[in-house]
Amino acid sequence: MWHLVDAKCHFQIFHRLPTTIMIAIGDSLPAVTLGEYNAVEGTCAIGPNQIKVQEAAAGKTIVIFAVPGAFTPTCSAQHAPGFVALADEFKAAGVDEIWCLSVNDAFVMGAWGKDLGTAGKIRMIADGDAVFTKATGLELNMTGRGLGLRAARYSMLVKDGVIKELNLEVGGAFKVSNAETILAQVRGE
């Protein structure tokens, strides 16, 4: 079931691109490559790992939640911390991995993950070129506000690379993409 909330954004800056075809429940994840921060050796960053999405999702149950940007207010204060707090409950319910996705580079996502304490709980996935975001049609056009193309705020349940649940926020809301909602869906509640 696809969950959609209609809400107005306080700043009126979130707009879906009108010509985009959006991914739906029952669709497979796109065949794209994303990035993930790799640890630092001494004072030098090793660089981002490349993640082939379809390969990484094969045979796994994954919860993906996307945010418009790392270090942004709602994302940092509510959205991501909810998943950090419930990470053990997701694992107990059969989720193999939790991915946080944003149109940021892998270094920013790595720093944000360190700040949030996501190590061992959430994979901080960088969609630096917005390839996943564009392929799924789950983007926000925030051009004119200095933010460019961003990922919409959503959560999804993926089993063996196929989307089983999709909770998309509209207009900057934070009502259905939270950790509690998708955890209830994982549990079949």
Q: Give the start-to-end residue ranges of the domains of the chain.
A: 2-186
Beta bridge partners of 167: 3, 155
| Local confidence pLDDT in tens for the 189 residues of the chain | 444 433 333 333 344 444 456 899 999 999 999 999 977 666 666 678 899 999 999 999 999 999 988 887 666 667 888 999 999 999 999 999 999 999 999 999 999 899 999 999 999 999 999 999 999 999 988 788 777 788 888 999 999 999 999 999 887 778 889 999 999 999 998
Beta bridge partners of 40: 45
- Quick check: 40 and 176 in contact, CB under 8 A? no
Query: Where does 2-186 sit in CATH, by number?
Result: 3.40.30.10
Q: What are the catalytic residues?
A: 75
Amino acid identity for residue 188 in this structure: G
Q: How many CB atoms lie within 10 A of CB 21?
A: 8
Two tokens, residue 153? 């705020």
